[in-house]
Each structure stands twice: as structure tokens, then as C-alpha cells.
A and B are shown apart, each in its own frame.
Chain A
């Protein structure tokens, strides 16, 4: 790996950052820039693609190649970028409205195809850019400008969608926890396939404190469970609590009580193909459970862009046609070379045939 000695600063562009003061987007960008600086990949190999929304202004602030596209379609455009040039390191920046409402279709199909890119879903449970309408991740009953009497619809849980679409990588982080986010992003970057990282992001203007119950550093140890592959799933200020799986259900136990020891606590296996426990982790929510943070799932599976290249190479290894000239003359062709026939005229010089009549 070449050493570029980058720092996060090297990934800042000349453009002035225009998010509201205090917006969670700043912290996430900070995490991304630090992660990229440590990847040992030259600037120009990064392509950052976004849709529309506050978060999607992101590419302008990065000194990489960037494409701020249209609402909901960043996933599709990024799929084209990565498939066209698998050498690139592609990042998709998207909001909950962008990827799960208007772009829901492209989102699940990106995940299903397992294209090797990293997607960061900024989940502030609200539409920021259009000034505070509910989003597909807003809780039932929530009051916003477009739901003055409360919504009457249930939210998507992003991780469920990822698993439902046979996703290979899903992780969760909190915007303000830069160190942890960075660690998660690093694992996402290393994963081959579509990595979806949901970041709980605070919108100070339209949804301030929406994740506070979870995110508040004061309660972090009690309310967040930091997953690590191969490690027992424990949490609490003294790591005194743990998860066990009992009669098909997740259960919180206190180590040393009711006969439970550390050995009874489930060990996190992010790499198992079976999604059962991953789904259970994704579904955990306050107040009965801590919220699962970190890499929930990271499994190996064929990667779309690599498969496309592999198939082309395979076909080319035994090909009969390697040039367009050969293609044009392949199959059912016949020769005309009779005394009455004339010399061919290239199409681009052809004149109307009526003149000769």
C-alpha cells in the first residue's frame, strides 16, 4: 500500500461548508475525512456520489471526485460509476428520505446486487432540506409540518431493509461519536460488497434531540451495545449486562444474577450468513434493550462489479470475435461481386439515390 501521508484536512475542498451550526453532518464528515486519509488510497481514486437533501451537499466539501445528483438516485448513479470502473473507491452519501422514500427501489436493488461501495445513510428521521416534513423513518404518531395530527404510518428500520434485500454489510453509529463512527467506516471500507452504515444524525433545526435517548454520552454504556465480532455482547457501565438468546428471543441478563455467567452471554458473529441473530440485534430498541452499535453483519458473497469483470474475462478467454470488423462479418453474410455491381460508397458520403433515376 502506498503511503500518502494524508490527514483529514487533505480531504477538505475549497468550498465553504453550509450546514446549520451544530448539525450532525459536520461530525460525520469529519469521520469520513479521517477514514479516507487513513486508507492509503490517492485522492483521485475516490468518487463521492450523493442524492438530494442537506446531507447530500457532502461531495462539495470533499476534495475528491464528486457528483451531487438527483433525489433518491445516488444509489443508481453510484452503481453505474462502480460497475463502469471497479478501480474506484465509491462512497454514497444519502439521507433517510433520499434513500428510503424516493430512492427506496434503488436502495434495495443496490443492496441486493452487492455492488462494492460504501453507503452512509444519514438518519435524522426528518426531511431537513425541505424544512421538516416526516420521513419514512419517522416514528408513528410523530407531529411534523405535514403531519400536524401525527403520522398514521409505521417507519422503516433501515437494517431490516438491508437484511431483507440479502445485504452483506450493515453497521450503525452515532454522529457525535467520531471515534466509533470512524472505526465502523473503516470496516465498511474494507468490506467487499455493499456496505450500509446508518448514522444516527441530529438535525438541530427540525428534529433536535431525536436520538438523544440513545446518543447522550451520559447513558452511552447503558443504552448502546458496541458490537465486536468474536466478542461477547456485554454492555453497562461495568460491562455487567449481557445478551442471551432464549427460546428464540433476545434477552438481557445481568452477569452473576439468576445463575448467568459471562460464558452464557452470546458471542457476536457478524460473519455468519444466517441473518436470524443479526435481525434480532437490529430490532433491539429502548427501553427494554440497548441499541446495537457497530458492525452487525459483514458476510462474504459474490460482488456484482467483480462478477461483471470476471464474466467478461471468461468469455474473452475463448472468444471468436475480438473486433467490431469481425462481428460485422460473422454469422449469415453473403458476398456480392457481380459484373453489374458498383464500387461501395461509405454511408457518410452517400447521396440521395433519386438523383440517379
Chain B
């Protein structure tokens, strides 16, 4: 037998793709976890169809999961896949444009029949040529019939047999990348502990897939990806939504406050609600409200009652919450609103990522209504930005909007788990003296009022949406309204004292400064790193703090010849920067395809700017 071809790579991206019923998300997740355990750094990106019941076998029903792993730091799930596992022709059609030139395509040859080719709307019998995939390594594997063969002695019905196909594919891929099966075996045994037959058949198919790879060495290439060198500690895989939820749990514990979440399900934010609903053991109260308005309103009520109150949503939900968010601005109650952004406007592209809610977040309310705006940049750092959002809200008595997005929320990466001691203290501004308490009396330094909650003897007072005087009485006095408007804006600006300065990644000055914010961090960083290695004078300034902007923003901008702002919208942050810091010229790289940037397209844009 000929030895398998071994390809040694620093990083590899694999895309698992099939019909939404094929179990590709589970396959991808299991493979990622196994790789993470093996010691690789990884980054993943699930790509769901937006219609749950798209017809089987059609392009609309294709569900994908991309994982990139490697020995160095992995910042993105990879622009293009080196390996595609295609369970049907539609998967080839949907993913052709995401393939690395010369990559490998493993496909279930059994499903490449006339019927499925038609369903995927191929015109000829050669889908690969039609998709311009001529120079690719194509490995036909009869996955369906081998799975059937593998399970023939178990007397299972056809549907159950077909459901195990994904395990065959997983076993095969594990062999290709030298991943031991023990983690996956353990998972299956635990998950289906009550169904021994399911465990047995899945394990059988998994091993048959692995052995198939080994036996077919002549045709299947193998890849070598070494383990990464990283900080010592305890690691786990985490996605952005889970990290966000856990960040709030940490903030509640640090602040000594009870955590309350009022929310209404919406993709891609729902998983934060799911994650917290599961944490009754830590005393969390989750309130699944009748709509987004009730979601934020119950949270505002909980904040009034003294809880650490949050509400979570996605674009259209934030639109509904606008009026109530204004109320929390006026009542000066602590509240964190998470917006896991998705493609808009309206219901737009519900399962795809975008950064186009920035202006809505900054300005989308009646009246002068400033809130603190923060953006997380990776799946795992959602934990820290959620924590910090809560800290700012309760220490400064101000609503905070935390922006993440579909890419961060669903994407996952290995995360060194911190210990609670590593996190900063949180000291809520609870009122102390009833003799001096006035509802709208402000701290001189921070301009925040005090938090006196029902149940505190002697602190009875009234708040609400109408403009108030210092005693909490309704006031239509023009001078008072002007003064309070300025106070509320200035209170948000003074949060800057709690924030780190803007950092420059790369040289402190130079030809081109790449500016990005939120979930595009991994891609902009990778692009800048690659260009630096090519000897170009490019640095990165990535923003996590949008309102207020870091103190030194202007000073950083002034050290570069050109500035380019990259974002997944038509230029919202650059418009904001032009307004706040008008002294600079801002070039733009914008994309609204429901997809993250690719490192390649960023580099092309940057190179062009350097040449101009």
C-alpha cells in the first residue's frame, strides 16, 4: 500500500456541509472540540440556513460549519476552506466560492444522483465543472452505502441509518487530521447514555469511517497540524453568546447583586437567554417576556428593584426597545442591553452577520438620549465586555449597550478560563445616607446619581420618564432641562475614565492605520499581521469602546498618514468618526454580504491604499 500524502500546514480550515438534517453542526462542533483538546488553537463559524424547512437537498437548505485550527494564534475561521466535506450536490454549489484553490473535496458520491443534482439546480451531470472546481482534489466516498453496510446487522429503519452518515464523515476526517477518537466517543456515550443502541451504532459508524480513511490511504491525503504554544491554564471552548451570559454571571457575583434577564427570543441572540435560563443554580432570574418591549421593561423594573438587570436581543428587537431605553436614560437606572447584530434592515438576513445597527444604537431614540456603547471583538472576549458593561452600568447609573454580532455569538474558540480573582471589583452606587439622599443629586466627579431601591427605609422617592428636578419632582423648567441634558451626556463621556486607552497593534506610527471595531477584529488583525510580515507599514487600531471613544483616539490617528475604517456596513463608524474627529480623512472598506471580511480582500484594499 502506498503511503498517504502528508500535507504539513500551520493552519487548516475545514468546512462541513450538508442538508440541514444531516447533522453538520454537531459534526463540526465535535471535530472542533477534539482539535481543541489536541492542543490546537481554533476558531469556528456555523453557517445556518435561514429557513428551517427549506426543501431537502436544495441550496437553501444547506447547513455549514467551518473550523480553522492551527499551531499559531488563530484569529478567524479562515477565509477559504482547505477541505470541504459535502454530503450532497447542493453543498458543493453553496460552498464552491469558499474553497481554497487546490483544496480537497470529499463528497458522498451516493447522493450525487440525478434527483439531487436537479434539486440543487445543476444543469449538467458534472457539478464540479459547473462550479469551477476543476483543479481540486476530489474524493468520492460512498458515505451512504458504507453507512448502510456498517449498520446492516442492527435491524434499524432507513431513516435512523441515514442519520448516522455524519459519524462516518466525522470518523474519516478524524483520520485525515490525525485526531484521536476518544473525546468523541466519550461525548456520544454521555449524550446517549440512556440509549445504548444509539451509542453502539454511532461508534460503529465513526470507527468505520476512520478505518475507511486508513484503508484507502492511497487516495486520501493526510494533514499535519501541530499543537499551538499558549498560556498555561484551564481551557474550554466557548462561543460568544455563552461567554456573554457568563460574563454577566461573573458581574453579578462580583457586585453582590442578583442577576435578572428580561428577553424575547430572536436569532442570533436567543442563546444568551438559553444559557442563563439554565443557571438557576446560580440564582439567575430569566423572564421570557411577551415581546422585546416587555423584555426591556421587565429588566428596567428589575433595575429599579435593585437587580443587575440585562436584556438581550438582535437588530429588530433593539428597534422595539428604543422607547424604553430612553426611559432608562431618563430614570438614570443601570441597565445592560445586548444587541447581537445580524443582517438588516427589517428582518433582513436573520442568520447572517453584519455591523449595521451602530447608528441605531447611538442615535435611534427620541430626544437627546446618550448611552454607553461597547463592542466585543472575539467570541471569548464577550465575557469580559459583558462583565465591563455591567460594571459601568451599576457604578455609573447609566444604560450600556453591548454590541456583539452573529459571527461572534455563534462562533467559538478555545478560551483560557480566568479565575474570579483576576476580574476587577464592582461597586454599585447604592445610596448611603437617607439624610442627604436626593433622587437626582449627582456625584461631582462622575455625575451619576445614587441608587436607592424599594425596601430601603427612608429612601422613598419617585423617578420616571418626565424631566425631573433634583428632588425627583416633575419639572418643565427650561434651564433645568438644558442642564440635565448636558449632565446626561457628560455622564456618559466621563465613563472614559474607566476605560483603557486605545492601543495600536503594530508600529506606533506609519503609513496606514487600519481602524475596525467589534467582531471584525480577527480578520483585520490577521490582515495587518500578514502585511507587516511582508514589510509594509500598516498598524491596527481596534475599537471596543465606541461611546465614549477612548481618550487618546485623536492622538493615535494623528500619527498615521492614512486611516482606513473597515466595517460590515456601509460606513456607520466612519460617519461617527467624521462627526467626532473631523480633522482626518477616513478611507473606507465596507461589506454587507452577511459574511465576515476575508483577510485576502482586506489586504487587497490596504495594498491599494498604500500604493495610491
Contact = CB atoms under 8 A, between A and B. Distances in A.
Interface string B259-297: 010100000000000000001111101010111011001
Given A81-B305, A341-B229, A105 B323 contact: no
Nearest to B254: A324
B430 interface: no
Given A87-B455, A324-B250, A344-B231, A67 B298 contact: no
Interface residues of B toward A: which range?
Answer: 35 or more
A188 interface: no
B280 A316 contact: yes
Nearest to A56: B464
Contacts of A311: 280
Interface in A77-92: 77-85, 87-88
Contacts of A76: 289-290, 293-294, 297-298, 301
B385 to A, nearest CB: 10
Interface string A315-357: 1100111111101110111111110111111111001111101
Contacts of B465: 52, 68-70
Nearest to A87: B455
Contact of B301 (A45, A77, A308): A77
B236 interface: yes
Contact of B455 (A44, A331, A335): A44
A329 B418 CA distance: 9
A60 B235 CA distance: 53
Interface stretch (B106-114, B121-129, B524-532): B524-532
B504 A335 contact: no
Given A47-B454, A81-B305, A352-B504, A333 B232 contact: no
A346 B36 CA distance: 21
Contacts of B237: 332
B460 A333 contact: no
Contacts of A328: 234, 236, 246, 417-419
A6 interface: no
Interface in B193-238: 229-237
A81 B532 contact: no
**Which of the listed residues B298, B458, B463, B504 has the most CB atoms from chain A within 10 Å of its own CB?**
B298
Contacts of A63: 460
Contact of B420 (A67, A82, A324, A353): A324
Contacts of A82: 301, 305
- Report which residue of A64, A335, A348 has the largest number of chain B beta carbons within 10 angstroms of its beta carbon: A348
A43 interface: yes
Interface in B437-470: 453-466
B294 A105 contact: yes
A36 B66 CA distance: 62
Contact of A46 (B235, B422, B454, B540): B454
Contacts of A193: none
Interface in B511-542: 525, 528-529, 532-533, 540
A44 B456 CA distance: 6
Nearest to A322: B281
B232 A337 contact: yes
A13 interface: yes
Contacts of B458: 44
B300 A80 contact: yes
Given A77-B301, A83-B285, A334 B235 contact: yes
B294 A353 contact: no
Nearest to B333: A67
Given A43-B460, A79-B294, A334 B37 contact: yes
B280 A344 contact: no
Contacts of A343: 231-232
Interface in B327-350: 327, 331
A334 B305 contact: no
B294 A84 contact: no
Contacts of B596: none
Nearest to B462: A66
A341 B327 contact: no
A324 B253 contact: yes
Contact of A312 (B283, B304, B466): B283
Contacts of A62: 462
Contacts of B283: 312, 316
Given A59-B464, A331-B236, A337-B232, A77 B300 contact: yes
Contact of A348 (B300, B384, B504): B384
A130 interface: no
Contacts of A345: 231
A322 B505 CA distance: 39
A12 B280 CA distance: 40
Given A42-B457, A68-B466, A315-B280, A77 B304 contact: yes
Contacts of A73: 293-294, 297, 324
B506 interface: yes
B39 A336 contact: yes
A220 interface: no
Contacts of A47: 304-305, 454
Given A84-B260, A325-B420, A332-B236, A77 B460 contact: no
Interface in B456-492: 456-466, 473-474
B357 interface: no
Interface string A104-131: 0110010000000000000000000000
B260 A83 contact: yes
Contacts of B233: 335-336, 344
A44 B306 CA distance: 13
Interface string A159-193: 00000000000000000000000000000000000
A225 interface: no
Contact of A354 (B246, B417, B540): B540
A200 B280 CA distance: 42
A349 to B, nearest CB: 9
A282 interface: no
A49 interface: yes
B285 A106 contact: no
A73 B320 CA distance: 12
Contacts of A106: 290, 293-294, 297
A64 B417 CA distance: 45
A85 B235 contact: no
Nearest to B287: A83
A64 B232 CA distance: 54
B601 interface: no
Contacts of B39: 336
B73 A69 contact: no
Nearest to A341: B232
A67 B419 contact: no
Contacts of A105: 290-291, 294
Contact of B249 (A320, A324, A352): A324
A347 B456 contact: no
A94 to B, nearest CB: 13
Among B250, B304, B457, max chain A CB count under 10 A is at: B304
A140 B318 CA distance: 37
A15 interface: yes
Contacts of A354: 505-506, 525, 528-529, 532, 540
Kindly list the 5 A-B residue pairs having the minimum CB-CB distance in the complex, ordered from nearest.
Answer: A80-B301, A68-B464, A80-B298, A76-B297, A84-B302
12 contacts: A13-B462, A47-B305, A65-B454, A66-B462, A67-B462, A76-B294, A81-B454, A323-B420, A329-B417, A347-B381, A352-B506, A353-B73
Interface of B: 33, 36-37, 39, 73, 229-237, 246, 249-250, 253, 258, 260, 262, 279-283, 285, 287, 289-291, 293-294, 297-307, 309, 323-324, 326-327, 331, 381, 384, 416-420, 422-424, 453-466, 473-474, 500, 503-506, 525, 528-529, 532-533, 540
Given A81-B301, A81-B305, 16 more contacts: A13-B462, A60-B474, A67-B301, A69-B327, A79-B287, A84-B260, A88-B455, A106-B290, A308-B285, A312-B283, A321-B282, A324-B253, A327-B279, A334-B235, A354-B540, A355-B506
